[in-house]
Structures are given as structure tokens and as C-alpha cells.
A and B are shown apart, each in its own frame.
Chain A
Amino acid sequence: GNSVTQMEGPVTLSEEAFLTINCTYTATGYPSLFWYVQYPGEGLQLLLKATKADDKGSNKGFEATYRKETTSFHLEKGSVQVSDSAVYFCAGSYSGGGADGLTFGKGTHLIIQP
């Protein structure tokens, strides 16, 4: 079946460090890809998305590029802040988001130390 795999944490970085969280997806069709973020005690929020190959999603300094050749959608940020500490989920929408809903990765807990 469809799956999304992301690096599992926790990932601990110092403030202003460069961040990469890896995410790969199974290439069944051409899913739309998303990064969601979950801050402590809150629900998930859409961080960014890309709907086709070579699209780049960006928001709040975060970026991710839909790479068809490597079936990847890695999340990057040039300089992280303490406020970026959260759990990040990579997700794919197969079949137009219909048949299986969103398929999520297991989540990566990011901890930013001052």
C-alpha cells in the first residue's frame, strides 16, 4: 500500500542551526505531498504543500521540494528558532485524498535548544 517514511527523532539542534528532516514516499501515482506541524497540546497545522513534481512549498522559512526522481519531500530551514520545537509530519494524499485519506509518516520530534 501507500506509505510515507520520515526520519524519526528526536532531532535536537541548537538555535540558528540548519534543519533537514527527510521524507520519502511510495511512488503509487503522483500524490500531493504535505508537511504538517504539531505544537505541544495542539492539533496539526498545515505547514506547506506541493502538488506536483518540482513544486516547492514554503512557509515560515521552511521549504520542501517535490522530487519525483528520488521520491522525496525533505523539509529544510536555514536557521531554526526555539519556537520551531514541535513534531513534524510528512503526509501524502493519494487518489486525490479520497480513498485512503492522508497517509502520514510517523512524525519527527524536533527540539531546538537556545
Chain B
Amino acid sequence: GESVGLHLPTLSVQEGDNSIINCAYSNSASDYFIWYKQESGKGPQFIIDIRSNMDKRQGQRVTVLLNKTVKHLSLQIAATQPGDSAVYFCAEITGSYIPTFGRGTSLIVHP
């Protein structure tokens, strides 16, 4: 079946560095791709999304890149801060409008 997966379960970075979290997807019919952030003890929180007809979208300190050729999605966080430490999930939505979530990547920011 279709799935959303992540390349790395844990990513450790130094404060101030840029972080890149990767996600592979297999459903070429997906309409939306979304990134969520989940801090310890809390529910996931929407960060940014990108439609399938786009290659790049920027937010505040975050950029999402979509490479449909290789079915790859990435979240770039600029100048990573300790408050960015969390688990990051990618998700995709197809025509069924039901989001399918990946397993998550834990981002650890060292001061």
C-alpha cells in the first residue's frame, strides 16, 4: 500500500545551525504535503504545507521543498533554536482528504 516514511529517526544539531528533515512518500497522487511539530507531552502542531503543484514554500524560518521526481519532501529550519527540539511528522493527503502520517523524526538541538 501507499506509505509516508522518513529517512532518519533522530537528527542532532547545534544551536544556530540549519536543520534538514527528510521525508519520502510513495503516493504520486497526493495533493498536499504537510509538516507537523510535536513537542514533548503535547499534540502535533501544524507548521507548513505545500500543494503538489509547487516545488517550494517558505514560512518563518522554515522552508519546505517538494521533489516530485524522486517523491521526496524536506523541511528546512534556519538558525535552529532549542525551542525547535521536537518530533517532526510529514503527512500527505490524497483525494480522500484523509491525512496519512509518517513515523516522525526527533530533532535534538544542542545549545
> Do A and B come from the same complex?
no
